[in-house]
Amino acid sequence: MLRDITVGQYYPGNSILHRLDPRTKLIGTFLFIIVIFMVKTSPQYLLLGLFVLLNVFLSKVPLRFIIRGLRSIVFILMFAFAINLFFTPGTPIFRLWRIRITHEGLRLAFTMMMRLVLLIMGTSLMTLTSSPIQLTDGIERLFSPLKRVGFPAHEVAMMMSIALRFIPTLLEETDKIMKAQMARGADFESGRLLQRARALVPLLVPLFIASFKRADDLANAMEARCYRGGRGRTRLHELRYSSRDFLAFLTLAFLTAGVYVLGII
């Protein structure tokens, strides 16, 4: 039941997107998000949409995988759509009793929805094509200039990779404890909100205890292997930019230019 969660999932492969330097993908995604929020007109959205589809094609990740990621936020999408649709003031185009839909509302609802969809598709494309290790390596390298002013780049990256590493373990554990409590007659699926919240106690308490214990064990194991943080550590895989990354940045530059041009004509 809990195994359907795909957020942050990695889809192993060897496509050009997989082989890009993680830093390129991180910066690229960041730029892409900025571009999304600059966009206003439909031709611009069309261009961004095509760009995302092109990347999906290049990544060789099945489209349904990315769609599945969208499914988990369907509720948020609908909510944002409805809010914008019904509560934007402007020239009404449709009216039924107190409900009023304006021209501006319709427009805003569509743009918001497009933005969210593009945002999710873009970022999940990044996580789908980079392993958690690559991503945290990339983050550490990107933030390492800040080490000089005391920012713990290595520690933050280490925390992230440990967190990512333990998500499946935690899901497995949740599944196990849930089953054990169900065997004692616990009911996690019915009842009102308050009852349901209370039903979570027998799940959460053991889960917290197990997590603390696991954290303690892991800390001991790391110390036993002389882990002392990032100073003086060398890496097995050094990150290096290649011509692929140059090409990727060039493509992004053209995309940004394209969006800009479509905006002024």
Partner 1 sequence: MSITLKKVSHEYNPGTTFATFALKNLSLHIEDGEAVGIIGPTGSGKSTLLQHINGLLRPTEGELEVEGIHISREKQNLSELRKRVGLVFQYPEYQLFEETVEKDIAFGPTNLGLPPEEVDKRVQNAMERMGLDYASLHDRSPFEISGGQKRRVAIAGVLAMDPKVLMLDEPTAGLDPLGRRQLMETLRSLHREQKITLIVISHSMEEIAFLCERVLLLKDGELQLDKRVEEAFEDVAFMEENGMDVPVISRVMHELRQAGKPFVRNYSSVQEAAKAILKAAGHA
Q: Could you give the angle at the alpha carbon of 162 between the alpha carbons of 156 and 166, nearest 5°?
A: 145
- Residue 217 neighbours by CB under 8 Å, 6+ apart: none
Distance in Å, CB of 265 to partner 1, minimum? 46
Distance in Å, CB of 166 to partner 1, minimum? 16
Distance in Å, CB of 182 to partner 1, minimum? 6
Nearer to partner 1, 212 or 227 (CB): 212
Nearer to partner 1, 102 or 127 (CB): 127
Nearer to partner 1, 5 or 82 (CB): 5
Distance between alpha carbon 133 and the CA centroid of its chain, in Å? 15
Nearer to partner 1, 180 or 219 (CB): 180
Distance between alpha carbon 159 and the CA centroid of its chain, in Å? 17
Distance in Å, CB of 129 to partner 1, minimum? 17
Distance in Å, CB of 28 to partner 1, minimum? 28
- Contacts with partner 1, residue ranges (CB under 8 A): 3, 176-177, 179-187, 201-202, 205-206, 209-210
Nearer to partner 1, 8 or 202 (CB): 202
Distance in Å, CB of 263 to partner 1, minimum? 43
- Terminus-to-terminus CA distance in the chain, angstroms? 50
Distance in Å, CB of 3 to partner 1, minimum? 7
Nearer to partner 1, 159 or 205 (CB): 205
Nearer to partner 1, 169 or 242 (CB): 169
Q: Could you give the angle at the alpha carbon of 237 between the alpha carbons of 235 and 238, nearest 5°?
A: 80
Distance in Å, CB of 183 to partner 1, minimum? 4
The two three-digit tokens of residue 256, written as one number: 């940004």
- Residue 69 neighbours by CB under 8 Å, 6+ apart: 6, 7, 120, 121, 124
- Within 10 angstroms of residue 201's Cβ, the number of other Cβ atoms is 11
Nearer to partner 1, 209 or 221 (CB): 209
Taking CB atoms within 8 Å and a gap of at least 24, the contacts of 83-89 are 84/108, 84/109, 84/112, 85/109
